[in-house]
Amino acid sequence: MRKALLALAAAAGLLFATEAPANAYEPVNIVHTEHVQAGPYAMTIGFSTWPLRAEQSLDFTFIPDGGIDDKSGTLTMVNPEGGKNRIQPLVRHPRKREVWGLDVRSMPRPGDWTFRFVVNGPAGSGTGELRALPVLEQPGPPMGLSWAISTLPLIGLVVIVVLAWRRTRGRLRGGELPATG
């Protein structure tokens, strides 16, 4: 009994000693940056994918010079037609906590977008824009065609279930009962 407990404790010790921390999310890799002056604050905007494409998920990071600790701000994304999307506060990126950012966001349509920033900090308030941010067409086939192709297996499953149901129902009505064994 003592040897079994000692072996169990040794196995548990090895398990916990060799356990590595889980890497649940891959890190944010910035592949392209743009620079914007928002009043007294210089900002670097990072993109995890370049060139940008409509309906393609990516990460954005917003890094004011001197860090984000004593600053706050808002972001307004203006679509190519000039219509404003909602004004949203600049918050810490969920996977890159030392900067502001948007996690797994996509641009809904192609065209030249504008990012408008308002940054508040010790040097006062400043506004800046990243204009003519090019967003290309959506990659891959059109969305309708993608949805149509993806529903084919579901349609096949429904056909198989209906055929099986009709066969089984017909046998039970005709007086044929399955054999019991």
Q: What is the rounded (10 degree) CA torsion for 78, 80, 82, 83?
A: -60
Is the same domain home to 101 and 57? yes
Is the same domain home to 76 and 109? yes
Count of domains in the chain? 2
Is the same domain home to 146 and 64? no
Range of the domain at 167: 141-172
DSSP count for the chain of H helices, then E strands: 2, 9
Between residues 146 and 117, the one the model is more confident about:
117
Is the same domain home to 37 and 122? yes
Is the same domain home to 153 and 88? no
Of residues 148, 145, 133, 147, the one with CA closest to residue 53: 133
Is the same domain home to 71 and 104? yes
pTM of the model: 0.66
Is the same domain home to 44 and 118? yes
Strand pairing category for 100-105 and 58-64: antiparallel
Q: What is the rounded (10 degree) CA torsion for 20, 26, 28, 32?
A: 130
Residue 44 belongs to some domain of the structure: yes
pLDDT of residue 15: 65
Is the same domain home to 120 and 149? no
Is the same domain home to 39 and 124? yes
Is the same domain home to 70 and 146? no
What pLDDT digit, counting tens, does each position of 7-30 carry?
Answer: 777 766 766 666 655 455 567 789
Contacts of 106 (CB under 8 A, 6+ apart): 54, 55, 56, 57, 58
Give the tokens for residue 38. Answer: 């928002």
Strand pairing category for 124-136 and 52-53: parallel
CATH for 101:
2.60.40.1930
Is the same domain home to 41 and 127? yes
In eight-state DSSP terms, residue 19 is P
Which range has the worst mean pLDDT, 90-99, 149-158, 168-177? 168-177
Residue 1 belongs to some domain of the structure: no
Alpha-carbon gap, residue 13 to 106, rounded angstroms: 45
Between residues 27 and 125, the one the model is more confident about:
125
In sequence order, what are the beta bridge partners of 102?
60
